[in-house]
Structure 1
């Protein structure tokens, strides 16, 4: 079980790292896949900064947590994706749905579940 969880987290971490680097290198194309469009340089800077930070921090925590088999650090990306999932539910209630709205929610929900299960299954370092 631990090996499967570690592998899933590592693969997910790599995926999110590539996603974050995509926002850093090419925010226009990366943003379009997320339904984001910048109207000026400030918008591009915001996508570069915020989306890169979100995905890279989540990815690094996932990769380090998987590599070191450290359940504590996995709570950081679980929190990030959990808040993102809550934001999507609020958006559904406030704005309604669009075609394909469910796919990011499934990815975030599965990520949160895997990370929380792994957080419990993997060791917690003692100080």
Structure 2
């Protein structure tokens, strides 16, 4: 049961970030208000490409990891991306970068994303034990 709940949570997470990534490809100004990034002039192209790539790759990897049993390791891709972003923000805060409510919110989202992806990978990668006597099911060794 927990496996289905985790898969559902990861898929909902993936859909949200897929939508965010597609919105950013179509209109990089999407990221302006959410992340305080200037998306004008030549910066618009960089924001469109880099931010959208971050969200799209993490969303697709999460969906693959949730849906394909042999590809659970794909969940470590968004875990690594969001973990790296969180570490970067923590280093920035420790170095004196300005930290406002939007940065704190982003750090919370990154920490929760890291926990969801790494935790889901860990749980979904473990063998499951099936009660003896259930027809059609094979018990996996623990």
For normalisation by structure 1, the TM-score amounts to: 0.89
Change (3 A) 1:99 1:120: closer
1:65-112 per-residue CA deviation (whole Å, 9 max, x = no partner) reads: 111143211011100000000111112122132134321111111111
Q: Which runs of 5+ in 1 are unaligned?
A: none
- Provide the rounded CA distance (Å) in 2 between the counterparts of 1:2 and 1:122: 6
Backbone CA RMSD of aligned residues: 1.5
Size of the aligned set, in residue pairs, is: 123
Higher relative contact order (CA 8 A, sep 6+): 1
When you count helix as a share of all residues, which structure comes out higher? Answer: 1
After TM superposition, the runs of 4+ consecutive aligned structure 1 residues lying more than 4 A away are none
Aligned to 1:111: 113
> Which of structures 1 and 2 has the bigger CA Rg?
2
Aligned to 2:137: none
Aligned to 1:49: 49
Q: Give the drift of 1:39.
A: 3.8
Change (3 A) 1:99 1:114: closer
